[in-house]
Amino acid sequence: MAVAAENQPQEKITTTEASAVEKRRWTLNDFDIGKPLGRGKFGHVYLAREKRSNQIVALKVLFKSQLQQSQVEHQLRREVEIQSHLRHSNILRLYGYFYDQKRIYLVLEYAPKGELYKELQKCKYFSERRAATYIASLARALIYCHGKHVIHRDIKPENLLIGAQGELKIADFGWSVHTFNRRRTMCGTLDYLSPEMVESVEHDASVDIWSLGVLCYEFLYGVPPFEAKEHSDTYRRIMQVDLKFPPRPIISSTAKDLISQMLVKECSQRLPLHKVLEHPWIVQNSEPSGVYKS
Ligand code: ATP
Ligand code: MG
């Protein structure tokens, strides 16, 4: 497993308090390891402190053997490459990585308030104010990603963490893709791309609009819109866009209007993210600060 090529530049912490840190490759000795924060499919996440800068981070430890067994090395490499280049207050920073014989370590921004789906479980569903604030911040983060030709493709409560101010952080770029790059290598130069090919890049990005619509519904109702006992029924309901709004909880018609405009089968007809931000429900309900305070 060679996630890190020897000559690859390493991202370092660049916040003001850490800017004095000399650029060099990290090893485990550079960190004090604290309490475990959680367990993932391929390893564990620990609270940690980078000794030189005193910066608190989350250290994700992955076992190479498990990654190899599941054949996800390629996916991890892509995740690291993409996430380490994104800088947005609603996207979890990936400061860098290092490895030893058995493990790969990802140095991540620490999200002190934990997982969003636990919050959702606790509350059952969110208020419109809270949901709108979250959806607006995610729309802004996705506009940023799409501007960099990155499509997340796996937006769901499990992949959202909560930062110190209560702001959402998109984590887990394991399924994301960098379309621009792919197309560029595929087609040589962009200059020769036909309109429909340029357009299809944007079409791809609209999968994230759909997911945002699903998320908005789940925030407000506590369950995803196309839920069913059998997978085959969920599949059918998605294909038919079998969207129903239950009578309870009582949700404003503007919220339902926004959801209906994002959950559109024809991907080119989904409400573009900048229009999501201008939608009356978002304008009326989301916190101008972009941060929900309970
Ligand atoms: P996978 O992504 O492999 O499916 P996962 O998403 O369940 O796994 P991880 O991303 O490895 O798990 O994280 C495991 C748990 O650790 C998370 O569910 C979360 O509670 C916690 N955690 C992960 N990253 C952070 C972080 N940056 N800050 C705070 N807690 C974190
Ligand atoms: Mg995850």
pLDDT tens for 22-72 read 445 899 999 999 999 999 888 899 999 999 999 999 999 999 999 999 888
Q: Where in the chain is the domain with CATH 1.10.510.10?
A: 116-285
Q: Two tokens at 196?
A: 């429909």
pTM: 0.86
- Characterize the bridge pairing of strands 150-151 and 103-109: unpaired
Q: What is the C-alpha to C-alpha distance for residues 284 and 56, in angstroms, rounded to an integer?
A: 36
Q: Which residues of the chain have pLDDT under 50?
A: 1-23, 181-187
Q: How far is the CA of 206 from the centre of ligand 2 (A)?
A: 22
Whether 191 sits among the annotated catalytic residues: the reply is no
Distance CA 262, CA 188 (A): 33
Give the CATH number of domain 15-109; options: 3.30.300.130, 3.30.200.20, 3.40.640.10, 3.30.930.10: 3.30.200.20
Nearest CA to ligand 1 atom 16: 38
pLDDT for position 25: 86
**Residue list, ligand 1 pocket, CB within 6 Å:** 37-42, 45, 58, 60, 92, 108-111, 114-115, 161, 172
Q: Is the preceding omega at residue 249 within 30 degrees of 0, hence cis? A: yes
Look up residue 145 and give its two tokens: 């990603």
Decide if 57 contacts 110 (C-beta within 8 A). Answer: yes
Would you state the pLDDT for residue 65? Answer: 92
CA of 158 to the centre of ligand 1 (A): 9
Superfamily holding 116-285: Transferase(Phosphotransferase) domain 1 (1.10.510.10)
Name, in order, each residue with C-beta under 8 angstroms of 89's C-beta and a sequence gap of 6 or more. Answer: 163, 167, 290
Q: Which residues pair with 49 in a beta bridge?
A: 32, 56
Quick one: pLDDT at residue 171?
92
**Does 60 count as an annotated binding residue?**
yes
Q: Where in the chain is the domain with CATH 3.30.200.20?
A: 15-109
Which residues on neighbouring strands pair with residue 104, listed in sequence order?
62, 99
8-state DSSP, 271: P
b/e 204-229 (16+ beta carbons within 10 angstroms → b)? bbbbbbbbbbbbbbbbbbeeebbeee
Q: What is the model's pLDDT at position 129?
A: 97
Catalytic residue (one of 154, 191, 204, 233): 154
Q: What is the DSSP code string of 92-139?
A: --EEEEEE-SSEEEEEEE--TT-BHHHHHHHHSS--HHHHHHHHHHHH
Evaluate whether 146 touches 208 at the Cβ level (below 8 Å). Answer: yes
Q: Which atom of ligand 1 is nearest to the CA of 39?
A: 14
The pLDDT score that the predictor gives to residue 59 is 97
What pLDDT score does 186 carry? Answer: 45
